Amino acid sequence: MTELKLGAATVQRIEESYEPNFEARTFFPDWQPAVVDQHRSWLVPNHYDEASGFLKLSVHSWLITIGGKRILIDTCVGNHKSRPARPKWHLMETPYLARLKAAGVDPGQVDMVMCTHLHVDHVGWNTRLENGRWVPTFPNAEYVFSKADYDHYSKLDADPKTGPVNGGSFRDSVLPVVEAGLTRMIDGAARLDENLEIAPAPGHTPGTIAIKFDSRGDKALFCGDILHHALQVYHPEWNSFACADAEGARRSRRMALEHCAGSGARLMPCHFGAPFTCHIDHKADGFVPRFDGAF
């Protein structure tokens, strides 16, 4: 179990998968093979599989335990979900819930689920299959969604020309939670409690949010897909193929990096390879990651 302390909180990484899963030159339109030689000392093997030319990306949630509350950030792909466009994610069978239990938490004990955005690999475990129906996996949790993302995808999903959106995940992993009355839609910036603050970070999706955490002076930024890969720390101009608004995504990425470098907040991504999290330092007019034995 990978775990760290942030002030009064314990933060644990709940893994769904960690493998070479996207061809680098397809994932990053600006990919340059020369970056492998430039960054080999840290890039291989935890972040890039040289034999296949695939990025090695993790898909995981972050579990925050603080003051008796359990907060789950991003919920991966999920089991039994039909995702034929992504063969590695199609009808998955992973021990995700067993790993959550190994962290000391049953689904009914989760108090809050926060989705940084509503893409397929960040909402999947919102629901599970029960007697042929998709039901909330965390029945006692409040699910926090971005209203901007929900409104955007709700409109597209209802249009026969564009729906179903996000590989069908809006219908099987978002709507059942809304219909169960478990959601809290956040519109713009918001402070949820003394530890958690939401900042809009549009670009990757219209309603992507950054989640700021602060406890006893320890700060963290849960960034979802504002950054997918540690190479984007060196190249914040690089967008993934999935970024909806290129310039907006670049602005939000730089904002996140500036926040971490300026405040000392630990960057907590959802897809970085081991050690899965880092600090950010300024270097000249750019940034570098500091993998400082996070776990």
Tell me the pairing of strands 209-215 and 196-200. antiparallel
Q: Does the 2-290 domain belong in CATH 3.40.50.2000?
A: no
Q: Where are the beta strands (DSSP E) in the chain?
A: 2-6, 9-23, 48-49, 54-66, 69-73, 112-114, 127-130, 133-136, 142-146, 183-186, 190-191, 196-200, 209-215, 218-224, 266-269, 279-283, 286-290
Name the residue ranges covered by the structural domains of the chain.
2-290
Residue 226 near residue 253, CB atoms below 8 Å: yes
User: Which of the four pLDDT bands, split at 50, 70 and 90, describes residue 295?
Assistant: very low
Between 2 and 188, the higher pLDDT residue: 188
Q: Could you report the per-residue pLDDT of 175-202, keeping only the tens digit for each?
A: 999 999 999 999 999 999 999 999 999 9
pTM of the model: 0.96
Question: Is it the case that residue 294 has pLDDT exceeding 70?
Answer: no
Mean pLDDT of the chain: 97
Question: Is it the case that residue 273 has pLDDT exceeding 80?
Answer: yes
Q: Could you report the per-residue pLDDT of 76-123, keeping only the tens digit for each?
A: 999 999 999 999 999 999 999 999 999 999 999 999 999 999 999 999
What is the arithmetic mean of pLDDT over 201-213?
Answer: 98
Element (H, E) at 41: helix 34-43
Supply 146's token pair.
């971005």
Give me the pLDDT at residue 1, please.
Answer: 60
Please report, for residues 61, 135, 142, 272, 283, the alpha-carbon distance to residue 178 in angstroms, rounded to integers and kept in the order given: 21, 11, 10, 30, 44
Give me the pLDDT at residue 2, please.
Answer: 83
Residue 17 near residue 59, CB atoms below 8 Å: yes
Question: Is it the case that residue 40 has pLDDT exceeding 60?
Answer: yes
Q: Could you report the per-residue pLDDT of 144-179, keeping only the tens digit for each?
A: 999 999 999 999 999 999 999 999 999 999 999 999
What is the arithmetic mean of pLDDT over 30-56?
Answer: 97
Tokens 């405040």 -> residue: 263
User: Which of the four pLDDT bands, split at 50, 70 and 90, describes residue 292?
Assistant: confident
- Residue 238's identity, in one-letter code, is W
